Structure 1
Amino acid sequence: MSLAERRRCVTYLRNQYEISERRACQAIQLNRSSYRYVGQQELVDAAYEEVVRLSERYPYFGYRKIYDLMRGSWSISRETVRLIRRREGLQVIKKRRKRKVLGMTTQWVNQARYPNHVWSYDFVFDQTEDARQLKCMTVVDEYTRQGFEITVGRSLTATDVIRVLEKLFEEHGRPVCLRSDNGPEMVSKAVQTWLKEKHVDTHYIDPGSPWQNAYCESFNSIFRSTCLDRWLFGSMTEARVVINQWLEEYNTIRPHGSLGGMNPKHYLQRWNEENTNQQPEILTA
């Protein structure tokens, strides 16, 4: 905020709320001497007014362009134009960063307590040999670390997300909560409305905080380092075959340190055996 703008704010506060100069200056964080200061030379002439008029008419023109507009008709230097604009607070408005639409969290879950309690899903990108994009949707059970599905396509929309989740709900039962970032496919009204109809809560992590979706990020990291980075896919069909084989190996062979050295399938079987009576009711789609 320029000095001129701060002065105008102080004047507005004094007139609108009838407060003292001291309090108004404290609110705007402006020294009272700066607010009262008046330059020794008041050069408000026709050229001065023309600079102000052009700057207000073309708010995205800098002082150089305003000077170019006036150069043929007015006797004024470029530095004078700059100082006038600075004094009046007429600098070019900086581009503001657009706010991203965020999803609505309906349940805050820190850690999954049993299978089908919390699922998380995300997207991983790669490309085929012809430099065309591959988009992979990963879905993980945070408690068992089981990878339910890796859907591969050139482009996956909110409609595809609903189709994949509906298929998984039918096969594994629906979770209590779904955790994800604020990607456009996840925060779309269609996905949020569909999940609400299925009575599935959502937990959207804070923007720029991937560690809040740690289980899915860990799965994606393993997926990339042990599969995507090792293969150069010639086609999307080849990618789907290789990725499905990798997912089967991940779920049935690969030991997990967090699961006591067991693979996700073995861990789920053991949990079911030990918690037959205490197992929560599995929700069905």
Structure 2
Amino acid sequence: MKDLVLIERLRALASERPRFGYRRLHLFLKRDELPINLGRVYRAESLAVRWKVRRKLAMGERQKKPVVSAANQRWSLDFMSDQLASGQRFRVLNVVDHFTRECLAMHVGVSITGHDVVRELAAVVRFRGRPQAIITDNGPEFVGKALDLWTHETGITYLFTRSGKPVENTYIESFNGRLRDECSNLQWFQSLE
């Protein structure tokens, strides 16, 4: 009887959150106070998350990155694109702290300029404090005058990744991938709100 309740709850959770693995679903089941050997049941029900097979990339020389040891040492910024149900494209600016791995800001808009990026960062700085450095790719919103001037005035070190090297900004790329996998690929957005 207990196994049947467990299996039904596990199936329901897995259908609600298809990109969650058994460890994350286990937390939900513990909240429901269901004692389980989750690995056995999860595998028996064939609920394992399927991942894309990645091809091996040629290894080049790796640069040693300075270790981040506290919050607000380095933030990463990047954009994601998606579209509404109507077909209208929109973008999401994400800001992630390297140490805490938390998303500090998500700004959604049809058109996001360098001034919008500065306005969003200034709001986060008022709330969270100033980072020592920010790192971005070479997108037009990031290489413009607005962000360069703001970082200079606030004393923030501004770092760029090399063109075509998203692995140099792994924290934000990982966050964007997970956000796309667990949220935007599963949702049908009717409006920006």
- TM-score normalised by structure 1 residue count: 0.45
Normalized per residue, the structure richer in strand is 2
Structure 1 residues 175, 206: closer, same or farther in 2, change over 3 A?
A: same
Map 1:89-128 → 2, pairs under 5 A: 110-128=66-84
Partner of 2:60: none
Shift of 1:112: 1.8
State the superposition RMSD in angstroms. Answer: 1.2
1:165 aligns with 2:152: no
Normalized per residue, the structure richer in helix is 1
Partner of 1:206: 162
Match for 2:106 among 135, 150, 162?
A: 150
Distance in 2 (CA, whole Å) between partners of 1:193 and 1:109 is: 25
Distance in 1 (CA, whole Å) between partners of 2:163 and 2:180 is: 22
Structure 1 residues 122, 198: closer, same or farther in 2, change over 3 A?
A: same
Partner of 1:133: 89
Shift of 1:110: 3.4
Q: Which has the higher contact order (CA 8 A, sep 6+)?
A: 2
Distance in 2 (CA, whole Å) between partners of 1:110 and 1:187 is: 23
Match for 2:179 among 205, 223, 244?
A: 223
What stretches of structure 1 move > 4 A for 4+ residues in a row? none
Identity %: 35
Distance in 2 (CA, whole Å) between partners of 1:149 and 1:133 is: 20
Shift of 1:134: 1.3
Where does structure 1 lack aligned partners over 5 or more consecutive residues?
1-107, 238-285
Shift of 1:109: 5.5
1:177 aligns with 2:133: yes
The one-letter code sitting in structure 2 at the alignment partner of 1:179 is I
Partner of 1:39: none
SS at match of 1:120: strand
- TM-score normalised by structure 2 residue count: 0.66
Structure 1 residues 160, 109: closer, same or farther in 2, change over 3 A?
A: farther
Instruction: Kindly name which structure, 1 or 2, has the bigger radius of gyration based on alpha carbons.
Output: 1
Shift of 1:218: 0.3
CA contact 1:109–1:203 (8 Å) conserved in 2: no
Distance in 2 (CA, whole Å) between partners of 1:180 and 1:173 is: 19
The one-letter code sitting in structure 1 at the alignment partner of 2:160 is Y
SS at match of 1:121: strand
Match for 1:191 among 141, 144, 147?
A: 147
Please list the CA deviations of residues 231-282 of structure 1 after superposition, one character each: whole Å capped at 9, or x if unmatched.
Answer: 0101111xxxxxxxxxxxxxxxxxxxxxxxxxxxxxxxxxxxxxxxxxxxxx
SS at match of 2:185: helix
Structure 1 residues 207, 124: closer, same or farther in 2, change over 3 A?
A: same
